[in-house]
Chains A and B, each alone.
Chain A
């Protein structure tokens, strides 16, 4: 999909929250930016007072297809993504079957291309069947039509230090990155909630911060030792932020993400025993939330990633300890970041664009750097370009956002097939008004355009 031939003239949008500017989109690219543009035959959209951001890129999405199409499909998941302002999502490998072969990642890649509302970048499993014992065929996935560059056993930790070292080394050959789900398994056997005051009072097995931090520290050292790239998934503790800050200060190739829910919610929500708040890693304390926000603001944490984890109702309408881990997040991510980072003065819109588009695109090798050779088109053997500045020559991947809006989150209205949003009933600022993928609107007036 390289545009549909229809040019769009977006009037008076504020790129990165700056001065109002007209943007002309044609043939999949931004072709002009400036005041008072005109174009014969172009569709005109009045974007006065709307912030224009580059299309958001999610490094961490569970689309559940193949295997759990009752919870989400590539189609519903990418629709949810578009409604949230995303133009690219990375689909995690813990599907059934696991995305651990070229065949499965190509299947997911094709389903994404067919859905057509948001680019789908498959993440390959690090170990075959996510069993943590032997490497999956990482090279075959990298060379496939899906051009996989991010590998993760997310949901499980690559806890074996030797296997982790080999994985980090092996992907250097094709500029890959290992995205680690940092969870020391022995320290978290049966764990349910953050270990602290709340776990003790509730009688739920504690999930100590050290179980995350110990793995992150080890992996930073391993990445440094073999000179490879480590990405840390869903950082959730203040201690993890400190370790990553230290690793970065050494110049090591370590990047990290934080989820919207870890930027806003805390472990005391578990007092209701409502598993809507059950997530891996668990919600942490207020002090952790403060440290995560500070880490995202100063760049220690590179990006926001949703860890969108849809679950069927019956997997959440249970006792806490048998419920599934995870929360939906695509459709609320930008609004939560608005509330947690922008309204608090920690990030401006340029900062949001950096943390939700440019940096995740760079980590996923979608910014045109590295060996992937990302381009403005979506063809087999190539990868689409994302996270580029809003300027002529960039692919026309855009989100137009109304920062003055405000509404109560109602999961019943979400495009995701699942309803497990922890933000249900909360008033959040903002509204995604429109999303453009390579010049074609996927969302208009806050609704799916196609």
Chain B
């Protein structure tokens, strides 16, 4: 994102430089034509003078001088027409360049504002680029790191965008003593532990950050379509299985501050096996 923001600045700089050089090149074209016009006007004046001298001589044949004057007049007319056309082209080009560079500057400014805002949000993650650590706090979000290992304290986290009633619950607070899932042999529902591990990572790296910036179920469906994802390895299913009614992990808070599993034993087992320290859960 920092690279992109830097690229935006370079784009604007290069565009402005190109526009300035184009204006300079157009001015050079005008200068060349003006110089040529001056030379041709001088040639016309010389030809006219030669004709006058010829006509002053009795019995002289001035057809050559006449022809020279006509050629010079035509050359001057062409240069004058070229100068008018070049000035019109230059004026039109300058107007277009001004409009384009202004528009590009506006686009770059808006793009940078967008990126700056996202960078500020990411800056709230203490672990940006440092291995995927959840952070606590009212605006806590998730890092962009791609590893499955997550660390954190024994406190519920409520990242921005997570629906009301949900929290990221530390595994250390979940009472796993009655979990009937004890190994891969207990996965017979059409998904594997690897599928659920993929979903945990997708939830952390794509779904949760997406929710923080206003993504909806439709957003994730569109992303799946463009990326060719479907089924257990899709963002839309990840979104629905972790946050959908009936599918979400549900935990019951107990008097001692720990949580009893009401739904999601397979996912909690997978989270433990793959080193995730928090799971998204509906708290009853």
* A and B from one complex: no
